[in-house]
Amino acid sequence: MKRLTAADIATAVSGELYGVDPETPLSAGVVTDSREVGPGDVYIARRGENFDGIEFAAAAVEAGAALIIGESVPTVGEVTLPTVVVPDATEALGLLAKHSIEALRADPETDITVIAITGSVGKTTVKDLTADLLAGEAETVWPPNSYNNEVGVPLTALRADESTRFLVLEMGARSIGNLAYLTSLVRPDIAVELAVGTAHSGVFGSIDNTARAKAELVESLTAGSVAVLNADDARVAAMRDVLGPDVSTLWFSQRETLPEWVGPDDAVVRARDITTDVSGNAEFTLHLPGEEPQSVRLALVGEHHVGNALAAAAVAHSCGVGVKSIVTTLATSSAASRWRMELIDSPSGVTVLNDAYNANPDSMRASLKTLASMGRGDEENRPRRTFAVLGEMLELGEDSVSAHADIGELVVRLNITRTIVVGEGAKPIYNAANLEGSWGNEATWVPTAAEAKELLLAELAPGDIVLFKSSRDAGLRYLGDEIAGVSGAQ
């Protein structure tokens, strides 16, 4: 956080000070969990569904909190704790982040660039790759995990201080207006639009509504900013039409022939001659504007990460990172966030591909294609048996049954050795696989992860590859950890 006084913070969040000297300097962290408080921190006492953070204010002060932001004045006996009282603590968190970033921008001693990333798939991976690319150049702040909502975005922004050169944010949307709100708090200098897919279509109502919600990110850009757009997604490409004056466009594409909406003079980051080896790693030729083509082999597993790598490379290029540094980082940067195409060789000799943090039809197809390519073998590697453990893709609305059925057809066409479908919501995968031509025990449905585990323990052998893929709430990521032998698996 920018160095501020207690009075500055009270003004920023439109609150009233109690129990503290207005000139008290504050420059440590900002937290919403009293268990994470450190000396000098500001504790935001949010009111949740099952708790009121103000109840933990005394514990936060005892742990070292210098200021509480809450919706009432906490006391210990007759002692008033240092507090800024506000109508809504969550809104105050956002206002504090907004004030801190604007103060950093106004400070002639600082030079901060804010990068915001959104899309129906790939946000967290691109955030991690972008952070890796920029952190080698200058002080960079980025969120752990998927801190992409009205709490996570401000908390990440408040970690930026006078030493921060790059602030990388992941921004998610569950309704129209979410991104408009987030960008009103922290306006990006570079906005990345990855894809408009069917994820959360049950929430938005239609893919067109999803596109409308995602477009709010680039609509926030002001003159001199950069929109990094996926040229291979027509709905993303259409967002160029909503850009403000003097906002630059930098496309990224993995097509051999560029789409018609990319002009001959447009700046494009491209991947050409894409291949995937038996380890599941993609290789391609990277073309950056004004640079000689470079050969890249991604450390990340899965051909679908080519687009993610291009988006991150486009941001890095816009920020002045050299081509050699970009190539080296892409070749060494692996999954920083758990359960996203996480490749683990288990002690039993089974290779686990744990991609069960999020799932939608696009990412499900990509994961299965990667599994199939890893099992094929080549001149130096024998073919391997492939197992797909698939759970429900949530929030697909009225398209849920057909979307799951499409995946059932795909597993048969990809010749996946064994498909284990888990849970009632995912059962259309199993039904469609049978109709498509699955025979014997190639496809099996079980109601619970525990039953899937029994099957796997009975059938897996050294050399096999097993993919776990589902939405987070289906819980298959924990089963993947168990099969992989990951310490602490639930």
Angle in degrees, 0-180, between the axes of helices 476-484 and 449-459, rounded to the nearest 10: 30
Beta bridge partners of 219: none
What is the separation of C-alpha 354 from the centre of its chain, rounded to a whole number of angstroms?
Answer: 16
94 annotated as belonging to a binding site for a ligand: no
Beta bridge partners of 415: none
349 annotated as belonging to a binding site for a ligand: no
Angle in degrees, 0-180, between the axes of helices 89-106 and 178-185, rounded to the nearest 10: 50
Cα distances (angstroms) measured from residue 124 to each of 191, 248, 267, 451: 14, 24, 25, 31
For 221-282, give the DSSP string: --TT-EEEEETT-HHHHGGGGGPPTT-EEEEEE--SS--TTS-TTSEEEEEEEEEE-TTSEE
Residue with tokens 């150049």: 137
Strand 281-287, strand 267-276: pairing: antiparallel
Token couple for 181:
């709100």
Amino acid letter, residue 115: I
121 annotated as belonging to a binding site for a ligand: yes
- In sequence order, the 6+-apart residues with CB closer than 8 A to the CB of 175 are 203, 204, 213
123 annotated as belonging to a binding site for a ligand: yes
C-beta separation of 133 from 115 below 8 A:
no
53 annotated as belonging to a binding site for a ligand: no
Instruction: Of 396, 385, 448, give the one whose Cα is nearest residue 419.
Output: 385
Residue with tokens 């496809």: 443
- Gap between the Cα atoms of 35 and 59, Å rounded: 8
What value, to the nearest 5°, has the Cα angle with vertex 432 and ends 475 and 233? 75
The set of long-range contacts for 327-331, using a CB threshold of 8 Å and a minimum separation of 24, is: 327/286, 327/294, 327/295, 327/296, 329/129, 329/132, 329/133, 329/136, 330/129, 330/133, 330/286, 330/296, 330/298, 330/299, 331/296, 331/297, 331/298, 331/299
Residue set of the binding site for ATP: 119-125
- Residue ranges of the annotated binding site are 119-125
